[in-house]
Amino acid sequence: MWARVGLMGSVALGSTFWFKKNKAEQSPYELKLIQVLFRHGARTPLKSIPDVLEAQWVPELLEAPAHTEIDYTVTDLKGGPRPPAPVEDSYRAKILTGGTYPGQLTTVGMQQLYDLGVKLRKKYIQEEPFLTPSFNPKEVHIRSTNIVRTIESAKCLVAGLFQQKQAGVVSILTDKAEKEVLYPNYHGCKLLKLHMGHRWAQSSTLPDIAADLQSIQSSLGVDPHQHIDFILIRDDMVARETHGLPLPTALEHWRSIIEQRAVDMICHIYEPSKRQNLQMCVGPLFQLLLTNIEDKIQGTTSNPDRKLFLYSVHDTTLMPCLMALGVFDMKWPPYAADITLELYQHRQTNQHYVKVSYIGQDQKIPGCSDVYCPLHEFKAAMAVHALPDDSYHALCNSADDHPKV
């Protein structure tokens, strides 16, 4: 009797597993391509708040965990030598208290990206066997801004995603500074520099922001002539908190206002209500994402086996992307935040769909009839801000026609 119950129980259990497996296989959507834009991990601050309790940013905070190490190389987009890195050089010109440079990826940040890689592994290798379990250069394209923290973040994500298993050296591609499209490029776009410089200076003088800034400087005992703003204060505050370093007690009271005002500033700077501004920020990047999708569908890519594009970027990349997609939640993207675009094909109709998620949450894009957005609707939504290279350069070089912004 017990044997029969045991047998029946195991049969029932087996049928449950079969049903779950079968249900997964019967999803009407078949995954075809993944593109992930992700922010680097926790880092040292870009600047310290002047005149306040110093944090010790010591080299011991930067040690790389053994499980994040892989065999990798950094090249230009064509596989040649890594281009010069003027942005990185500007960080290296300064030293923080404790002896490290501004903007360096820390051990905490390395682990955050490794963990993001593990999450992607669970989703795209274990739950849905889409990617090969070890790194395959034909399947995976990795591109980073030419800054050490994003390059190292890409390396750590790949280590987590493929558990340090690789068929060949991992190439991380990067572009020269003046041609970079993975963040709003003030150096490569004259009109953007003109506009953003003006809006950045203006943002701290807006009445509400200026009043709060004056109050916080007074609370912290910062000299009123010191040039600080809420983005700088937030950056230092979050970096300290993430690494368990001391925080001036006055900041505790101001935490939510600092978060809000930093976002208010960035919204003023990017001015997302003006289409042209977001086109200059993310136009070429949106064009790149659309081209990857189109190449996959048409079979026009030189790498037909490509399944995953990884882009290692910044908070200043993700925010204008979210604004342009119409899903910005008015919160500063945390370290290791990601925007993921998945391309699907319907098994019955063969129609294509795109699904967008942000930090693991599916997003319904305005202009899309569903979370699984029909491709023509997604392309129409992206086309508002996507710009081919020639249109982007024409817009950027029209600075001479805009003497006042």
Domain match, 38 and 162 both: yes
Calpha distance 353→346 (Å, rounded): 8
Q: Within a domain: residue 346? A: yes
Average pLDDT on 107-114 reads: 98
Residue 182 pLDDT:
98
Residue 197 is part of which domain span?
193-270
Q: How many domains does the chain have?
A: 2
Average pLDDT on 371-399 reads: 96
Task: Give residue-wise pLDDT tens across range 160-172.
Answer: 999 999 988 999 9
Domain match, 247 and 301 both: no
Length of the chain equals 405
Phi/psi for 56 (5° steps) reads -95, 105
Residue 367 pLDDT:
97
Calpha distance 315→313 (Å, rounded): 7
Domain boundary among 246, 270, 294: 270
For residues 86 and 93, the answer to whether their CB atoms sit within 8 Å is no
Domain match, 284 and 366 both: yes
Domain match, 168 and 303 both: yes
- Catalytic residue, chosen from 76, 115, 315, 346, is 315
3-state SS, residue 306? coil
Fill in the DSSP letter of residue 67.
G
Domain match, 149 and 214 both: no
Catalytic annotation present for 40 = yes
Q: Within a domain: residue 305? A: yes
Phi/psi for 367 (5° steps) reads 95, -10
- Catalytic residue, chosen from 40, 195, 243, 314, is 40
Domain boundary among 220, 253, 270: 270
Domain match, 110 and 83 both: yes
How far out from the chain centre does Cα 9 lie?
A: 47
Complete DSSP assignment for 192-219: HHHHHHHHHHHHTTSHHHHHHHHHHHHH
Residue 224 pLDDT:
84
Residue 157 pLDDT:
98
Q: Within a domain: residue 167? A: yes
Domain match, 164 and 42 both: yes
Q: Within a domain: residue 289? A: yes
Domain boundary among 270, 289, 316: 270
Q: Percentage of the chain with pLDDT > 90? A: 84
Task: Give residue-wise pLDDT tens across range 34-79.
Answer: 999 999 999 999 998 888 888 999 999 999 999 999 999 999 999 9
Catalytic annotation present for 305 = no
* Residue 193 pLDDT exceeds 60: yes
Q: Going along 28-129, which residue ranges are E strands? A: 29-39, 72-75
Domain match, 129 and 236 both: no
Q: What is the CATH number of the domain that holds 114?
A: 3.40.50.1240
